[in-house]
Amino acid sequence: MTRKDIRKGVTWIMILVSACSVAIFTLAWRHRDEVTPAELADVELTPNWADSLTNEKSDYAPLHKMDREIERFIGRWNIKGMSLAVTRHDSLLYAKGYGMADAEAGDRMTPRHILRLASASKLVTAIAIMRLKEQGRLRLDSKVFGPDGILNDTAYTNAINDRRLFDLTVDHLLQHKGGFGMGAGDPMFNTKDIIAAKGLDEPPTNEELVSIVLPRRIAFTPGQGFRYSNFGYMLLSLVIERVTGESYWDYVSRDVLHPAGCYGFRPATNYYADRHDGEVRYYGPDTVAVEEWNGSGRMVERVYGGSNVNGLVGAGGWLASAPDLARLVAAVDKYPHVKNILSGESIDSLTSYAKDDRRSRGWSEVDEHGKWRRTGTLSSTHTLVERFPNGECWVLITNSGVWTGHNFSREMTGLVSRLRAAYSGSMPRRDLFRP
């Protein structure tokens, strides 16, 4: 063998060694990246994964400009605090709090704080219904009322005057196609008016409220129209309780949230004194005192006693952190990095798209490109979940209401659009779900 041949052989060996080194480095990098390796699909998260989240973990120099833009946004809208979580391919890339969680107590917002989700709670309820369907405990075409219905109490059956209600199904409620109108106001938010009109001594329970609402004529035949209905999703909460024999909160926590790795969800409370550990203080768009929801005549803060938030149950009664809510979305999106708690068929049912009806089951809106959107609004909070076709999901939750009400969702959507365009490519490559 000549020296030339030896030199050539050494060269090839060096090339192979370099190639192997690059491959090893790449694999190592990918395992800390937001990829979706199948071998991690069944890894279970520990209940305390969210405990490790801090603002400092997302103090990332390439995104300091994004932080300042968010701070300008909340300042412009007089929002006390906002929590943000960003995932891609089921990996939590960024989680941070902005502003104050409780200004009076001097507590700054962190990604661990829990906040009212408002109507984003409906996504949780829709997922729970699909879990029950997969467990064989109900069907989407199951009747809600009547002798063969799930809620077949004679108190309900005898209260019905509009016989079209006997055709109401679980799926009609999921899609806001139950026919419940708003002619007498939203029964989930006008309790004190109902107390006065019916001469009640105390607020009705949700079961009693159903018997009060059912005698009314519905706005359209179930399935033949659309009308957003908080009352319909409260009914779904009662359906879940009847089918399972448990409280709504207990079943959903054990069979939906915990299997998804979400351990920070809590039932909402109505008053600051009853808040959960880690819960924020809420701020309304004004400081005008309003009459307490229960008809006591007492004047209270709008955000603390103005409405029965806990009574919304699955229509708007959940609290969670932004990362926990993002974690739930990751568990129902078909990506394998986080184990899905629903089948692909059920996920398709939740996110089905129809050209003439962009609102799907649980989600506020889906489009033909595969973008899913869920909003929530109360006088005390705004929630936005946007999951994009490229597997990216942004979750924003505020502890403040603004004077534009639900229209503020458009401002939040615009903010996400701007932030994604400018900073999506600068997100750190990691997974905070797996500290």
Q: What digits encode the pLDDT tens for the residues 263-296?
A: 999 999 999 999 999 999 999 999 999 999 999 9
Flag whether 156 is in a domain: yes
For 136, the domain range is: 131-244
Flag whether 150 is in a domain: yes
Are the beta carbons of 135 and 165 closer than 8 angstroms?
no
Between CA 257 and CA 241, with CA 381 as vertex, the angle to 5 degrees is 35
| pTM, two decimal places | 0.89
Domain count of the fold of the chain: 1
Flag whether 315 is in a domain: no
Flag whether 170 is in a domain: yes
pLDDT in single tens digits along all 435 residues of the chain: 454 454 444 444 444 444 444 343 333 333 334 433 333 333 444 557 899 999 999 999 999 999 999 999 999 999 999 999 999 999 999 999 999 999 999 999 999 999 999 999 999 999 999 999 999 999 999 999 999 999 999 999 999 999 999 999 999 999 999 999 998 899 999 999 999 999 999 999 999 999 999 999 999 999 999 999 999 999 999 999 999 999 999 999 999 999 999 999 999 999 999 999 999 999 999 999 999 999 999 999 999 999 999 999 999 999 999 999 999 999 999 999 999 999 999 999 999 987 776 567 999 999 999 999 999 999 999 999 999 999 999 999 999 999 999 999 999 999 999 999 999 999 999 999 997
Flag whether 238 is in a domain: yes
Flag whether 259 is in a domain: no
Flag whether 176 is in a domain: yes
Flag whether 80 is in a domain: no
pLDDT at 48: 73
